[in-house]
């Protein structure tokens, strides 16, 4: 199945014979010119539509890239903020684990396992 628009050579010949019979040999050149103009118009329309679609796609691609950059920047900022908060929490936890120094400069005595319980 080759040929023009899926129409083989035999089908084209049959169409031409029917056209000669219906239109007559004197009107065939006039109709051919009209068909050629229609094909030229449709090709121009298709080219213009393709250019419009490509331009729109280029705009959408540009917008997508801008949004992607903004999201990457946002993600990076959030990661920095989370790291900063995690570091601060870690420092706070480590600071709270240091022994408390008494006003005299001495650390408190270590607690014995039985401290606070009455001996009995």
Contact between residue 34 and residue 42 where contact means Cβ atoms under 8 Å apart: no
Contact between residue 20 and residue 28 where contact means Cβ atoms under 8 Å apart: yes
| Cβ neighbours around 101 below 10 Å, total | 10
> pTM for the whole thing?
0.47
| Cα(88)–Cα(25) distance, integer angstroms | 94
| Cα(32)–Cα(70) distance, integer angstroms | 57
Higher pLDDT, residue 91 or 2: 91
pLDDT digits (tens, 9 = 90+) for 67-118: 999 999 999 999 999 999 999 999 988 887 776 666 666 666 666 655 555 5
| Cα(11)–Cα(17) distance, integer angstroms | 10
pLDDT digits (tens, 9 = 90+) for 7-17: 788 888 888 88
Mean pLDDT of the region 3-9: 71
């Amino acid at each position: 199945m080759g040929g023009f628009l899926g129409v083989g050579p035999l089908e084209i010949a049959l169409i031409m014979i029917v056209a000669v019979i219906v239109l007559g040999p004197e009107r065939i050149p006039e109709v051919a010119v009209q068909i050629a103009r229609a094909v030229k118009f449709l090709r121009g329309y298709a080219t213009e539509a393709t250019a419009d679609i490509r331009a729109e796609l280029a705009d959408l691609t540009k917008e997508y890239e801008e949004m992607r950059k903004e999201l990457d920047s946002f993600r990076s900022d959030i990661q920095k903020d989370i790291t900063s908060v995690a570091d601060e929490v870690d420092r706070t936890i480590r600071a709270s684990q240091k022994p408390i120094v008494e006003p005299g400069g001495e650390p408190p005595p270590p607690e014995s396992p039985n401290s606070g319980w009455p001996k009995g």
